[in-house]
Chains A and B, each alone.
Chain A
Amino acid sequence: MNQEKRPGGLTALAVINFIFSGWNLLGLLGLAAFFAFVGRIQTDDMNEAQRTQFEAFQNLGLPMFIFIFALSIIISVLLLLSGIGYLKQKKFLGWGLGNAYAIVTIVNSIISGFMFPSEMGGGFHIITMVGLIYPILTLILLNTTFKEDLTN
């Protein structure tokens, strides 16, 4: 059992996890609201780019919407639980679920890039890399810097 004082970096990771988890859940609410009211949105005032983007979302279909929704919930739960795991320095809850979050998010970003049209954020953009920063950092840090700290 590792009874040493928790490193500040691990606390910072936990706080960032909680923030991202909440952020993700808010995004989910927005996505659900969009799909609930998609039929009532007027496209007359939209420019060409906005209309193309809107139509891409509209053509997404219910199964894909459910898949995105479920994946976002899984990522949010993984973020939340691994954040608690970091604070308690737990092996499964911290190291295990933290790695699971990182891998799921990286795979999700790569698949989204191939699956979705560019109007919906598909393809490879510089913003894709912004989304990959935190999961890659998590993966590296959990398996190097903080590996010995998550043993409880």
Chain B
Amino acid sequence: MRSGSGLVYLLIALVFGLSVAHILIMPVEQLMARQIRKTGQTDPLIIRNTIINTGYPISQWILGQKTMKEIIEESAAQQMSYSKNPNQAYTAGQMKTDTDFDPWTRFLLEEKPALLSAIFLVLFFGMPFVISFLAYNQVSGDIQSHGLRYLLLRTERSNIYFGRFLGAVIFSTVVIAIIVATITFYLGVKTRIYPAMALIGWAACGFLALSILMVPYIALCSLISASVNSPFLSLVLAKVAIAGVLLLALAGSIAWKPAKYLLYALPWGWQSHLLHPAPTHWAGAVLACLAYTALFLMLGYYRFEKRDI
């Protein structure tokens, strides 16, 4: 916090997390308020449909089941049908049923609180971009100012390197816990769409998944921070690496299909499996996250141990 990076991360992460929740919860809240104003009660069927309509395209894109182009085309077709007959979209006949969903989507949108699932999916996509604000300056600032020389009189390089990594992981986990707890509390107390135990259980799973997901990205920042002398350069490189892999894979796969495998250079390719219903999938994703962490940490430590500071 004193150095500033923790403060900036805390602020950006909280604003990002709560804004995502606001954007996804707001249409449902407005609909509920409108229904109460008109009929004095809420209609669970229409509310469910609104939540599914919000969560479905998000889940389809983030889980990699549809391309952005397909989702836009589908949404445009729906809009067209809605503009021809505004009442049609809110009838039960227009609702997506269980048979429309694949098992993964059904698990996220039907078996678990769908609003919370949609929020988790967006956080899964966005938080890796935010984490570098916390982890970019683990050692690079001290290397630049030569401040590490004084620390090394009292401790070893391994203690500094792994200690700072651990500090960043603990801080990130605490911030994620605050975000998830705030959103869950709000959903439970204000909207009251889902049973409390279902919300708490799914929130705990989402919190664990998000916390585990952040670890390899923090390790990547450790590697970059140990490799360069300037905190600013470290931040830029972390941003370029995290966003660049995703962009190259997405843009590259348009021209050359196998380019999509670039996603596996970072946890991008695995991360959504942390929310998969099958234990083999989520356990595999956890192991993959740990493997990336070990690889990045070891490479970073090797560089930090050998370099002149």
Q: Chain A: residues with CB nearer than 8 A to chain B?
A: 7-13, 16, 49, 118, 124-127, 129-130, 133-134, 137, 141, 145-146
Given contact pairs A7-B3, A133-B15, a sample of 12 additional A-B residue pairs in the complex whose CB atoms are under 8 Å apart? A8-B3, A9-B6, A9-B7, A10-B4, A11-B4, A124-B190, A125-B190, A126-B25, A127-B26, A129-B186, A133-B18, A137-B11
Q: Are B18 and A126 in contact (CB under 8 A)?
A: yes
Chain A residues with CB under 8 Å of B11's CB are 16, 133-134, 137
B167 to chain A minimum Cβ distance, whole angstroms, is 15
Total chain B interface residues with beta-carbon distance under 8 A: 25
How many angstroms from the CA of A11 to the CA of B184 in the assembled complex?
33
Q: Are B1 and A9 in contact (CB under 8 A)?
A: yes
Is B54 interfacial (CB 8 A cutoff)?
A: no
Q: Taking CB as reference atom, which chain B residue is nearest A49?
A: B30
How many angstroms from the CA of A146 to the CA of B190 in the assembled complex?
35
Chain A residues with CB under 8 Å of B3's CB are 7-9
Q: Are B4 and A9 in contact (CB under 8 A)?
A: yes
Report which residue of A11, A126, A134 has the largest number of chain B beta carbons within 10 angstroms of its beta carbon: A126
Is B243 interfacial (CB 8 A cutoff)?
A: no
A12 and B4 contact, Cβ closer than 8 Å, known pairs A118-B33, A129-B18, A133-B18: yes
Chain B residues with CB under 8 Å of A11's CB are 4
Chain A residues with CB under 8 Å of B1's CB are 9, 141, 145
* 19 residue pairs from A and B, CB less than 8 Å apart: A7-B3, A8-B5, A9-B7, A11-B4, A12-B7, A125-B22, A125-B190, A126-B22, A126-B182, A126-B186, A126-B190, A127-B26, A133-B11, A133-B14, A133-B15, A133-B18, A137-B7, A141-B1, A146-B2
Proximity string of chain B (1-44) to chain A, C-beta cutoff 8 Å, 1 when within and 0 when not:
11111111011001100110110011001100100000000000
Determine chain A's interface SS by DSSP, over half rule: helix
Report which residue of A16, A133, A134 has the largest number of chain B beta carbons within 10 angstroms of its beta carbon: A133
Chain B residues with CB under 8 Å of A145's CB are 1-2
Determine chain B's interface SS by DSSP, over half rule: helix
Chain A residues with CB under 8 Å of B29's CB are 125
Q: Are B183 and A13 in contact (CB under 8 A)?
A: no
**Which residues of B in the span 28-69 have a Cβ within 8 Å of any Cβ on A?**
29-30, 33
B55 to chain A minimum Cβ distance, whole angstroms, is 17
B101 to chain A minimum Cβ distance, whole angstroms, is 27
How many angstroms from the CA of A32 to the CA of B26 in the assembled complex?
27
Q: Are B7 and A126 in contact (CB under 8 A)?
A: no
Q: Taking CB as reference atom, which chain B residue is nearest A11?
A: B4
Proximity string of chain B (171-183) to chain A, C-beta cutoff 8 Å, 1 when within and 0 when not:
0000000000011
Q: Taking CB as reference atom, which chain A residue is nearest B21?
A: A126
How many angstroms from the CA of A8 to the CA of B136 in the assembled complex?
14
Q: Taking CB as reference atom, which chain B residue is nearest A8?
A: B4
Q: Are A127 and B22 in contact (CB under 8 A)?
A: yes
Q: Are B5 and A129 in contact (CB under 8 A)?
A: no
Chain B residues with CB under 8 Å of A124's CB are 190
How many angstroms from the CA of A133 to the CA of B8 in the assembled complex?
12
Q: Taking CB as reference atom, which chain B residue is nearest A12?
A: B4
B146 to chain A minimum Cβ distance, whole angstroms, is 15
How many angstroms from the CA of A17 to the CA of B272 in the assembled complex?
37
Report which residue of A8, A118, A137, A141 has the largest number of chain B beta carbons within 10 angstroms of its beta carbon: A8
A36 to chain B minimum Cβ distance, whole angstroms, is 29
How many angstroms from the CA of A130 to the CA of B8 in the assembled complex?
15
A102 to chain B minimum Cβ distance, whole angstroms, is 14
A94 to chain B minimum Cβ distance, whole angstroms, is 15
Q: Which of B2, B21, B26, B30 contacts A9 (CB 8 A)?
A: B2
Q: Taking CB as reference atom, which chain B residue is nearest A16?
A: B11
Q: Which of A8, A16, A129 contacts B2 (CB 8 A)?
A: A8
B42 to chain A minimum Cβ distance, whole angstroms, is 16
Chain A residues with CB under 8 Å of B19's CB are 127, 130
Chain A residues with CB under 8 Å of B186's CB are 126, 129
B192 to chain A minimum Cβ distance, whole angstroms, is 13
**Which residues of B in the span 175-230 have a Cβ within 8 Å of any Cβ on A?**
182-183, 186, 190
Chain A residues with CB under 8 Å of B190's CB are 124-126
How many angstroms from the CA of A129 to the CA of B6 in the assembled complex?
20
How many angstroms from the CA of A24 to the CA of B112 in the assembled complex?
40
